[in-house]
Structure 1
Amino acid sequence: MKDKIANVTKWILYILLAFVTLLGLLFYVHVLSVGSYISLSILLLLFGVVIMIVSPVYGFISHPKNALKLLASLVLLVVIVIISYSLAGNQFSALRLEEMKTTAQVSKLVGMGLYATYSLFGIAVLAVIFSFVIKPFK
């Protein structure tokens, strides 16, 4: 049953990829109007969000032990975001913020995003190195 669901999902995603490619091609050769392109893009985004929500729920039902790993990953992500937010700050003066048409809070959120991205990239690199080093010993 699991292989059948994986196979069906794979083909649905291939069809979705072909549809998105065709949609982009039609837009760039000016066959599809901007309004139609945006409407179809919103539908595809909603479809992707539904898949993104349904897939983990199905995974929880079929493999409840993996839910703990996901929960640990989410907790780690929240901790990284909180640390990134606490490290981020507004580096701009009030005049510069007004010139950029932004606020101190937005500046801090951008800094948080940068710190979180750097941290997650570093963790990903360390995980690749760790898996490369530990693989011969297994």
Structure 2
Amino acid sequence: MDAFADAIREGARAGITPLRPLAIAESRVAPDIAVMEVVTADGIIVCLRHGLDAGEDSTTLFLGGALGGLSGPAHGLYHTVGRRLGGVRIHYRKPGHLEDCLFDVLLVQHLLSRRGVERVALVGHSF
């Protein structure tokens, strides 16, 4: 099931402009960390990927709270856990806007599914 594609179809039927990636830029910043920027007409979703190599079929998505950010609670918990277990940290286009943040998560999950990731676990707080 592709929740992102379903949500986009439903939104289009209701007259809502769909969220689509215009470009995806990715670069390694460390041997086990890559920055992935998903450019949309409505802003940029910034992600940090930890240890997600081709062929992996599952990952964890680390989601910031209502204020966004990549570090998570507890003085950088997402960084610590991401480096140890792998996963993707997501910074929203519009922190604090629940519906937009949800679409950001669905879009990143959709893009990962196109790379072969079939299962994701969500870790988040404060929304």
The interval holding the TM-score normalised by the smaller chain is: under 0.3
Q: Which has the larger radius of gyration?
A: 1
Higher helix share: 1
Higher strand share: 2
TM-score normalised by structure 1 residue count = 0.21
Q: Which has the higher contact order (CA 8 A, sep 6+)?
A: 2
